[in-house]
Chain A
């Protein structure tokens, strides 16, 4: 089955700096890669996703890049703000929601 590794487990950055979280996956057939953000006391919420037919996707301060050859994908957050503090999860699947395999999560801390 699919295995997703996520690094780092904790990331502390100064407000205004950029943050990068990286994930690798094992199943070359995986073609859907979402990122979820979980704030304290809440459930995870989708913030951005990418499919294997594109290499990069942007949404304002958030971007995701995918390298299918190396089987890794990354989340980039620019101009970080205090409200970006949360736990971020990457995931991979063959396209369906019921096949998602999640990483262990990254606790992002934005220092004022």
Chain B
């Protein structure tokens, strides 16, 4: 148990569906992240929320939209995805001003048909 919980663990969706990934952290951290993990590629940072302010990677398509209602919860809303979006989506949290360690959840495995 890392203190970062992601649901669902597995998701299969069609290209016209709308779904959401959820992340919750119980560590008292104030920064949360979405990473995309594809085979044989580096972990790709998608979005960062520091003190509820969002910073994003400009290369992330608009079919991914994050939401951070408070410092403990983070969502990734998905709509009209493409098959190449199939990947493991990892949520992480950290405490700003600390060592810089990221605490990852176990990920949500997404398959787009």
Contacts and interface: CB of A to CB of B under 8 A. Distances in A.
Nearest to B101: A46
Overall SS of chain B's interface: loop
A78 interface: no
A107 to B, nearest CB: 10
Interface stretch (B11-19, B41-49, B60-68, B79-87): B41-49
Interface residues of A, number: 24
Contacts of A20: none
Overall SS of chain A's interface: mixed
A43 B106 contact: yes
A12 interface: no
Interface residues of B, number: 24
B2 A45 contact: yes
- Among B2, B31, B99, max chain A CB count under 10 A is at B99
Interface of A: 4, 9, 32, 34, 36, 41-46, 49, 89, 93, 95-98, 100-105
